[in-house]
Amino acid sequence: MTDQTMRAVSAPQFSIGNVLGTSFSVLARNIIPFLLITVVISIPYFLVSQLAPGSAPPAQSSADQGHVYYFYYANISSGADWLSLILHVTTVGLVSAALAYGTFQDLRGQKVPTSELVKRGFASLLPVVLAAVAFTILLFVGLILLVIPGLIVATALWVYVPAIVVEKVGVGDAFKRSRALTKGQRWNILGLYIIVFIAALIFEAIESIVLGIPIAALAHHWAIIPIQLCYMIFVAVMSAVGYYYLRADKEGVAIDEITKVFD
């Protein structure tokens, strides 16, 4: 049996339980630096979204607007709306890149200073933001087309940010690489999306009850910010962990081989 085959046999297996469990473990060890970097990067977005929410028409029901996964930009109608959208896409991309680097370093047993997270996140600024814009457009169009195409986009392109951070590829190659890695695991990836989505809804419902704020109004209330921050952090970490498990499962690659590009 070759060394590569032996590594493949003993490689960690991609599963919903493994991805969630490892993601929580990474967060438990890095919650303070991950939270700090996410807050710093998110300040411009939250200032615009909360202080200048724009003039988008109200949703038809609380279910349309009341959770962090609501595509509020479906009704964008002002400069503030457009600015909020641009900042949101940029923020998610930068946070995902920075926390992907931090997650990979944690998985190899190394602590990462917050300053290094900032440096690594901005090092991938252009390709990550361009990819995030392309992903958002594809996802939005897919969701309009009877939802199913949008779910296919979301699951197939799930790990495009870690691919950019680790493999230093452009937008097209990152999408291609993500499609290859996620092939055969997209039902599990959809399951991860659903679990995190339901968790976000539960926390929103709890906040709505405790604060006495209708869920439809919560989207533009300061109380939604902690949920959005936690959601952003967990999704970024989970994507990086998923990338690691997909490569370990499919290619028998160890974490040290993945992270050697950072040395």
Please compute the mean of the pLDDT values over residues 128-155 and round it to a whole number.
Answer: 85
pLDDT of residue 62: 39
For residue 81, the model assigns a pLDDT of 64
Q: Report if residue 95 sits inside a domain.
A: yes
Instruction: Please give the span between the terminal C-alpha atoms of the chain, in angstroms, as a whole number.
Output: 30
Q: Is a pLDDT exceeding 60 seen at residue 246?
A: yes
Q: Is residue 182 part of a domain?
A: yes
Letter string b/e over residues 231-258, b meaning 16 or more CB atoms within 10 A of that residue's CB: bbbbbbbbbbbbbbbbbbbbebbbbeeb
Which parts of the chain fold into alpha helices (H)?
3-10, 16-51, 62-65, 79-107, 114-123, 125-144, 148-156, 160-167, 171-182, 186-211, 215-218, 224-251, 255-259
pLDDT value at residue 156: 94
From residue 189, how far is each of 31, 37, 121, 247 by CA, in Å?
A: 24, 26, 24, 14
Asked whether residue 1 is domain-assigned, the answer is: no
**Overall average pLDDT of the 23-33 stretch:** 94
Which residues neighbour 208 within 8 Å (Cβ) at sequence distance 6 or greater?
Answer: 66, 214, 215, 218
Nearest-5° angle of CA 103, CA 226, CA 133? 60
| Range in 16-30, 87-101, 153-167, 216-230 with the lowest mean pLDDT | 216-230
Distance CA 160, CA 164 (A): 6
Is residue 2 situated within a structural domain?
A: no
Task: Express each pLDDT in 160-181 by its tens digit.
Answer: 999 999 998 999 999 999 999 9
Residue 16: inside a domain? yes
Per-residue pLDDT band for 74 (boundaries 50, 70, 90) equals very low
Nearest to 205 by CA among 182, 232, 184, 223: 223
As a whole number, the mean pLDDT across the chain is 80
Residue 25 confidence class, pLDDT cut points 50, 70, 90: very high
d(CA 196, CA 173): 27
Do 101 and 165 form a contact (C-beta atoms < 8 A)? Answer: yes
Position 224 scores a pLDDT of 78
Nearest partner of 67 among 233, 209, 198, 212, judged by Cα = 198
Owning domain of residue 53: 7-262
Interval 207-228: pLDDT, tens: 878 877 776 666 666 777 888 8
Residue 248, pLDDT score: 92
Residue 75 lies in a domain: yes
* pLDDT for residue 70 is more than 70: no
What percent of the chain shows pLDDT beyond 90? Answer: 37
Integer Cα distance of 67 and 201 in angstroms:
6
Instruction: Please provide residue 71's backbone torsions phi and psi, each rounded to the nearest 5 degrees.
Output: -85, 80
Q: Is residue 30 part of a domain?
A: yes
Q: What is the mean pLDDT of residues 238-260?
A: 90
Count of domains in the chain? 1
Give a yes or no: residue 196 inside a domain.
Answer: yes
Q: CA 117 from chain center: how many Å?
A: 16
